[in-house]
């Protein structure tokens, strides 16, 4: 192979060739014809490698970048801006050329018999159109992009810290945070009536909500969780308060105003019309109010929502909103739903027949699914429902062991939920560990064909699997948003130099580690 040839494209009409210590200049010629002439003059059949360097005018930028946002909006045809973050506090800006431009270069090289090694950018062009910023080329060699480091932020070296994707809590109840660890000797329905409903009633009082919710929000911010799907209460004003508080943290959350028009207790109940009207008013309040926090339709579960209410919520959901609820958590609950919905072939089918699983741009999350049978699994898959597996909650309320392996084998998306306060820990890694343990019991005592979860599978449930509900979340890959946790696990690392062993110890002993830094979508979160 010849020494690599460098092609410097000053513009589409001005091309410099660096070859054999010579500089050749071509003007008003297409790249394809230039390369064909070079091939003919080389008089060799050997493969020839080229590297292309592009200058500022090639990108069709016609003005200095004085106002970055206005510039990008104006030139969106030629440029795509996206922020990334690695393990340091650096902000990347990716400048993407039009696909056609890239393909033209590739095709010209291919047709002339050259091997294109990389496409780079001239360092000087950055200073040419961004005079106001201290910038430099960080990474070159990508065929489809040029990556630039904007050095307007402090660079922080986390040295030997453990850096992992942010964790996602797919199911928890914000108003229940205050009574974690109570009633763990009860089953679901008794526990709801004894602890949950009386506590949630208090959120009608905004003074109480203003005292209680900050404690939850602070704890969630300081946890390993970067994104969450959250139940509020049926109180519209308190739900907006919670969403306002979460918005300020920088966490990405779906929050739902709960709907309940039957089978509740005390003051924790609405009429059907009140529930519908309050939901519409709440959604209207949320419009254009938030960047990080989104509303999600939230019927508590079928026993607390009449058929009329469920059907109306399905209409409100339309193709705009996600939906969260509970499914097949407890044997008595499942039987209750069977009595309430004799027209339905199972718990999930009752949701479906009432129009709650209609196709939406944002998916459905069903918590627990402990007693989902084969028919229900088929419908979960068909309706693209996310299962929020809550192992700690299922243990504490004696609900049972969910058939997670069967879900995964069928391609059903499974994430993890803390289910505060039926679960007592906000640490999603604790849920991952419990999920592994319960899967071993399921394999040993229920179904020997359902092999236990592996470490990587449990971690994927906490990150990538559930991350897809939010978009490209939960992995360190190109095109994924930068949700990042920086962990101090030094106390566990003495003599451990194998990264897998190090990670395994952290997964099981995460409560002995501390959170150093936390980023959501590339933005650093303030923790205390």
The structural domains of the chain, with segments of one domain joined by +, span 5-150, 167-427, 484-524
**Measured between alpha carbons, how far is 30 from 26 in angstroms, rounded to an integer?**
9
**Measured between alpha carbons, how far is 263 from 103 in angstroms, rounded to an integer?**
62
- The confidence score (pLDDT) of residue 1 equals 41
Q: Which two tokens stand for residue 424?
A: 């007592």
- The confidence score (pLDDT) of residue 197 equals 95
Q: Give the three-state DSSP class for 325.
A: strand
Q: Give the three-state DSSP class for 161.
A: coil
Q: Which two tokens stand for residue 144?
A: 């489809």
* Spatial contact of 435 and 453, defined as CB atoms under 8 Å apart: yes
- The confidence score (pLDDT) of residue 279 equals 98
Q: Measuring CA to CA, which residue among 211, 268, 284 is closest to residue 245?
A: 211
**Measured between alpha carbons, how far is 94 from 497 in angstroms, rounded to an integer?**
35
* Spatial contact of 394 and 402, defined as CB atoms under 8 Å apart: yes
What phi, psi does 181 have (nearest 5°)? 85, 5
As beta bridge partners, residue 14 has 11, 27
pLDDT tens string, the chain, 528 residues long: the values are: 445 677 777 666 778 787 777 778 888 888 888 888 888 877 776 777 877 766 544 443 333 334 444 544 444 433 333 322 222 223 333 344 555 666 777 788 888 888 877 666 554 433 333 333 333 333 333 333 333 334 444 567 888 899 999 999 999 999 999 999 999 999 999 999 999 999 999 999 999 999 999 999 999 999 999 999 999 999 999 999 999 999 999 999 999 999 999 999 879 999 999 999 999 999 999 999 999 999 999 999 999 999 999 999 999 999 999 999 999 999 999 999 999 999 999 999 999 999 999 888 899 999 999 999 999 999 999 999 999 999 999 999 999 999 999 999 999 999 999 999 999 999 999 999 999 999 999 999 999 999 999 999 999 999 999 999 999 999 998 788 999 999 999 989 877 778 889 999 999 999 999 999 999 998 999 998
- The confidence score (pLDDT) of residue 336 equals 97
Query: In the chain, what is the greatest distance between 2 CA atoms, to the nearest angstrom?
Result: 91
- The confidence score (pLDDT) of residue 9 equals 74
- The confidence score (pLDDT) of residue 61 equals 34
Q: Which two tokens stand for residue 448?
A: 């020997």
* Spatial contact of 413 and 442, defined as CB atoms under 8 Å apart: no
Q: Give the three-state DSSP class for 249.
A: helix
SS (H, E, C) 13-62: CEEEEEECCEEEEEECCCHHHHHHHHHHHHCCCCCEEEEEEECHHHHCCC
**Measured between alpha carbons, how far is 130 from 108 in angstroms, rounded to an integer?**
30
- The confidence score (pLDDT) of residue 79 equals 35
What phi, psi does 252 have (nearest 5°)? -100, 120
- The confidence score (pLDDT) of residue 88 equals 22
**Measured between alpha carbons, how far is 32 from 306 in angstroms, rounded to an integer?**
69
- The confidence score (pLDDT) of residue 386 equals 98
Sign of CA dihedral 474, 475, 479, 481: positive
The residue with tokens 């660096």 is 18
How many of the other CB atoms lie within 10 Å of CB of 290?
A: 15
Helix spans in 291-384 (H): 307-317, 331-340, 347-353, 374-382
What dotted CATH number matches 167-427?
3.20.20.140
- The confidence score (pLDDT) of residue 105 equals 78
- The confidence score (pLDDT) of residue 146 equals 39
Report pTM. Answer: 0.74
**Measured between alpha carbons, how far is 243 from 249 in angstroms, rounded to an integer?**
10
């Amino acid at each position: 192979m010849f020494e690599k040839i460098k092609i410097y494209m000053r513009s589409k009409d001005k091309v410099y060739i660096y070859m054999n210590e010579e500089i050749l200049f071509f003007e008003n010629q297409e790249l394809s014809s230039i390369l064909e002439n070079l091939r003919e003059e080389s008089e060799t059949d050997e493969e020839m490698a080229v590297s292309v360097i592009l200058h500022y005018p090639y990108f069709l930028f016609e003005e200095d970048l004085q106002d970055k946002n206005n510039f990008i909006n104006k030139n969106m045809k030629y440029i795509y801006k996206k922020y990334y973050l690695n393990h340091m506090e650096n902000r990347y800006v990716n400048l993407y050329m039009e696909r056609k431009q890239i393909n033209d270069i590739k095709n010209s090289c291919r047709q002339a018999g050259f091997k294109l090694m990389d496409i780079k950018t001239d360092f000087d062009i950055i200073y040419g159109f961004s005079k106001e910023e201290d910038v430099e080329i960080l990474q070159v060699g990508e065929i489809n992009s040029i990556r630039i480091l904007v050095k307007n932020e402090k660079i922080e070296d986390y040295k030997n810290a453990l850096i992992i994707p942010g964790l996602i809590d797919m199911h928890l109840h914000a108003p229940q945070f205050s009574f974690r660890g109570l009633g763990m000797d009860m089953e679901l329905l008794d526990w709801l009536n004894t602890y949950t409903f009386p506590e949630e009633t208090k959120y009608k009082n905004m003074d109480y909500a203003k005292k209680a919710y900050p404690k939850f929000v602070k704890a969630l911010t300081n946890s390993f969780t970067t994104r969450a799907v959250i139940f509020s209460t049926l109180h519209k004003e308190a739900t907006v308060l919670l969403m306002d508080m979460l918005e300020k943290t920088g966490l990405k959350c779906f929050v739902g105003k709960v709907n309940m028009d039957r089978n509740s207790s005390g003051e924790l109940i609405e009429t059907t019309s009140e529930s519908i009207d309050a939901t519409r008013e709440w959604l209207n309040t949320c419009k254009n109010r938030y960047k990080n926090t989104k509303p999600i339709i939230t019927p508590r579960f079928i026993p607390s929502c009449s058929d009329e209410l469920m059907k109306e919520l399905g209409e409100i959901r339309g193709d705009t909103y996600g939906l969260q609820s509970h499914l097949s958590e407890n044997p008595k609950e499942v039987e209750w739903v069977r009595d309430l919905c004799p027209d339905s072939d199972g718990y999930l089918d009752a949701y479906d027949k009432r129009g709650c699983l209609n196709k939406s741009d944002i998916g459905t999350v069903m918590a627990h699914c402990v007693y989902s049978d084969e028919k229900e699994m088929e419908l979960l898959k068909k309706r693209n429902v996310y299962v929020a597996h809550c192992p700690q909650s299922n243990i504490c309320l004696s609900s049972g062991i969910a058939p997670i392996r069967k879900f995964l084998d069928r391609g059903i998306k499974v994430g993890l939920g803390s289910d505060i306060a039926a679960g007592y820990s906000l640490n999603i890694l604790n849920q991952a560990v419990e999920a592994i343990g319960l899967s071993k019991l399921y394999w040993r005592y229920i179904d020997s064909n359902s092999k236990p979860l592996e470490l990587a599978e449990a971690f994927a449930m906490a990150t990538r699997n559930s991350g897809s509900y939010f978009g490209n979340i939960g992995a360190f890959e190109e095109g994924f948003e930068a949700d990042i946790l920086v962990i101090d696990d030094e106390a566990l690392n003495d003599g451990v130099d194998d990264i897998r062993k190090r990670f395994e110890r952290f997964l099981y002993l995460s409560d002995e580690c501390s959170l150093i830094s936390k980023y959501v979508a590339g933005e650093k979160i303030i923790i205390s």
